[in-house]
Amino acid sequence: MNEFFKVKIDHYVLIQTSANESMNVKKSMELLVPAISYTDAETKIASYIETHALKNAEVSNLSKINISRIPTQGFEENYGEDENIKFYNSKVEFLHERENGSTKKVTTTWLIDASEVEDAVKTIRTLAKEYQVDYSIKQITETKFSDIVF
């Protein structure tokens, strides 16, 4: 089973300042990496850095994060077609009726890809219907993730 890692990468981008001058500017990016271990995450990150030819890149942070579900169906094929896609961290609370009549609340965290908050809400509603129990959306926040490294 995969765990999820948040990775911050610092790298340099060459910026043309004038006709004869250019300079390196330090940029940072955050990535989400589904992996089975820190070692697996590091391997995927190294491949990502090499594939994207990031200049003088270094990992400045690698940490586990609590996400229960990320977009997978069609995500890898469609990613990149819409440049306005953002990633939203959403907390969804499910209400499970127990046999004794009491209600148990279970909160999960999903990462949703959408171009705006309204689209994220639509996606959450579609996904939550699969569970056939009452639910409520407790929180939706935009993340800084620029990519998911599969």
- Residue 78's pLDDT band, with cuts at 50, 70 and 90, is very low
Residue 12 CA, chain-centre distance (Å), reads 23
CATH number at residue 103: 3.10.20
pLDDT at position 31: 95
Domain shared by 91 and 150, yes or no:
yes
pLDDT at position 72: 56
Domain shared by 3 and 73, yes or no:
no
Domain end residue (candidates: 18, 47, 65) = 65
Give how many domains the chain has, as a whole number: 2
3-25 pLDDT tens trace? 999 999 999 888 888 888 888 88
pTM: 0.80
Domain shared by 2 and 57, yes or no:
yes
- Note down the domain range covering 15: 1-65
22-59 pLDDT tens trace? 888 899 999 999 999 999 999 999 999 999 988 889 99
